Amino acid sequence: MYNGQELIGEIQNANLGAISIDDIDLKMQSVKLFKVKILIIHERFKIETVDKHFFYGTMSTSDKEGWVDVHLSDSAKIPLHITQIFQLISMEDNFFKRLNGNVSAGLSFTKSSDIGQVNFSANIQYSTKHISYQLSLSSIASIDSGKYSRDNENAQLYASYDLNTTWFLTLGGQYQRNLELSISRRYLGLTGVGNKLFIKKNWRLLVISGMS
């Protein structure tokens, strides 16, 4: 980085102006891209830029500070400023290396009142060259006098297919359960077409029109 610090490890992803690296000595680190002076990535990534272009390849350092050379599969080389990177998605053959997300769970229980609560949430993303999948799960359950009640559940699966650098198709499904609103179960589906109106260094605006 420009302050002289070096990080060595496995690049996980980059999004919204920051890059995540699993450093060999430290925990997972998230670094703002404008602080990166030299960037070398040996693994193959899908690279989306702020000017709505896609590249597939590895990266090596350039002669100019703050720049990288993107090495494509056909041996072509494209110079790119590091801050122009909007998103990095792993294109490794290993299925699990392409997964990105987080899972959390919790349990609270009071023995005197015999009341407890269980919660779970997960957000997982997986991408191929043209298709991106996103799975979101959440659940809240209660324990009262030894009885287990599934109070709130939500599961969403969305997929998007890139037609080109700005237009994409989307398809999704959702399951809901909310006893507080007297919903035992409800299923929703949607399909549509979307456009990436704006992509900036740390935000983007998407518009989707379709039917649900």
152-174 pLDDT per residue, tens: 999 999 999 999 889 999 999 99
User: Is 2 a member of any domain?
Assistant: no
Among the listed residues 196, 200, 134, 198, the one whose alpha carbon sits nearest the alpha carbon of residue 208: 196
pLDDT confidence band for 111 (50 / 70 / 90): confident
Whether 4 is in a domain gets the answer no
Same domain, 22 and 71: yes
Full-model pTM:
0.74
Closest CA to 139 of 150, 127, 125: 150
Report d(CA 3, CA 24) in Å as an integer: 19
Domain boundary among 39, 64, 93: 93
Tell me whether residue 56 is in a domain: yes
Mean pLDDT of 181-206: 92
Please check whether residue 92 is in contact with residue 44, taking contact to mean a CB–CB distance below 8 angstroms: yes
Query: Do residues 157 and 108 both lie within one domain?
Result: yes
Q: How many domains does the chain have?
A: 2
Tell me what the pLDDT averaged over the chain comes to: 91
| Domain span at 37 | 9-93
Contacts of 113 (CB under 8 A, 6+ apart): none
Same domain for 105 and 59: no
Look up residue 120 and give its two tokens. Answer: 């779970």
Q: Same domain, yes or no, for 126 and 194? A: yes
pLDDT in tens, 44-80: 999 999 988 989 999 999 888 899 999 987 778 899 9
